[in-house]
Homo-oligomer: A and B are copies of this chain.
């Protein structure tokens, strides 16, 4: 049934994937079709069985096919909800034949399955008991300064009265904005409390700015790879992402100029400091050039400064916004990655019409913020405890970073690539050619090790030979054990 046209340049498993995807798209393999077993197909195509298994694992990861235990592997409809579509508690018959009104069945999801799965996993947190949590995206929750946070919380509850439990609308709690203005000025960014709008975290800030600036069809420049949450926002806004590859200084200047010259982008989204997922730091010179380009081409820049506080000693340039002469940089930060995820507090520096538009948009999406959390955070920050906390986690994460580098060196086969970072929480690791990251992911999960698959960090997820590994939230001994498991699995695939 299936024939391959070996081109010599593409690995066999990739050819199987492409052929099956084409057959499914063309309708030759309609939803529900039972695919040949991996053994059967391997025989038919004269390839090794592991090649077919890898191809099937990839296709299953992107939601194109589904393995149903003993009964075989089936082609899925274009989109299937990951959960049985019916009420729990209903009979299996009802589960098999769910009836939803037509307006529901017509819903077209804007999400990408690969990204969705990675984000779902990333957000479960690192405290899953059976897993070494390299997938998690933030810091080690066990290092949260609980005593100081508890003290700040009680201080607010006991002294601020009912106002502490009310709404905090508009730009947010003034003393919090006051603290942030001072903090930002210390970082080289000239902002007053009035220039700061408190949001529900950086993800919300990205969504607010996208809703304010983007129309369907607009183009957005990002680093490639980049933060999948931003890619989800841009996809939901109907925007097209133009990914610019990175070199040692940040976004490649020639490619950036080319995109600005020919694509008329409406926004540049960048993570200049400890880029997510690569950890790259855009150089001061490039920051200057980026701001000049924004001014020249009239394109605003969103600076996602998500984890500036975690650094390993090397000097880093001031925020991009510090190089901004005209108001082209929208600077965003938050407290999820380097303090407490449950706060749900971020901030954005914006002036003029943009500021007014963001305040209105924030009100539209959730009316107001939590006075309790904003007051507690302000009290905590004013106590000075955060400076000690940031120094402490930087020291501990730096050690874990060293341990992970050593473990990668010891356990990963030749052909793997990574480089150390000067801050942040993650490493970006390239596995040797031919290793299916989706298959590796499933095997690693079975062995109790989680990581974030690289594909999710690209605008067009496909097999990408990368893993994002969080070193910050895992104990040193666990890091070595987890990397050993991963290295062993990678070597197995390479040897096969």
Q: Point out residues on A near B: beta carbons under 8 Å.
A: 81-83, 85-89, 98-105, 107, 109-111, 116, 119-120, 123-125, 127, 138, 141-142, 144, 146, 149-150, 153-154, 157, 162-170, 192, 194-195, 200-201, 203-204, 207, 211-213, 229, 232-233, 236, 295, 298-300, 326-328, 336, 340-344, 351-357, 360-361, 363-373
Please tell me how many copies of the chain the complex holds.
2
14 A–B contacts, CB within 8 A, in A order:
A88-B192, A89-B192, A100-B352, A100-B353, A101-B327, A104-B327, A104-B354, A123-B363, A153-B153, A166-B341, A200-B344, A203-B367, A204-B366, A344-B366
Distance of A110 Cα from B295 Cα, bound (Å): 26
If A81-B353, A295-B101 touch, whether A165 touches B360 (CB-CB below 8 Å) is no
Chain B residue numbers with a CB within 8 Å of A98 are: 352
Are A365 and B365 in contact, with the CB atoms below 8 A? yes
Are B352 and A85 in contact, with the CB atoms below 8 A? yes
If A85-B353, A204-B366, A360-B116 touch, whether A372 touches B101 (CB-CB below 8 Å) is no
Are A157 and B167 in contact, with the CB atoms below 8 A? no
Most buried by B among A85, A107, A351, A353: A353
Chain B residue numbers with a CB within 8 Å of A100 are: 327, 351-354
Chain B residue numbers with a CB within 8 Å of A357 are: 107, 109
Q: Which residue of B82, B170, B364, B372 is within 8 Å of A123 (Cβ)?
A: B170
Q: Given contacts A103-B213, A127-B166, list 6 more A-B pairs with CB under 8 A.
A: A103-B299, A120-B363, A124-B167, A232-B363, A341-B368, A344-B369
Are B371 and A165 in contact, with the CB atoms below 8 A? no
Chain B residue numbers with a CB within 8 Å of A142 are: 162
Are B144 and A352 in contact, with the CB atoms below 8 A? no
If A127-B166, A165-B149, A201-B366 touch, whether A86 touches B344 (CB-CB below 8 Å) is no
Distance of A357 Cα from B351 Cα, bound (Å): 34
Distance of A195 Cα from B89 Cα, bound (Å): 11
Are A103 and B165 in contact, with the CB atoms below 8 A? no
Are A201 and B367 in contact, with the CB atoms below 8 A? yes
A196 to chain B, nearest CB (A): 11
Chain B residue numbers with a CB within 8 Å of A81 are: 352-353, 355-356
Chain B residue numbers with a CB within 8 Å of A170 are: 120, 123
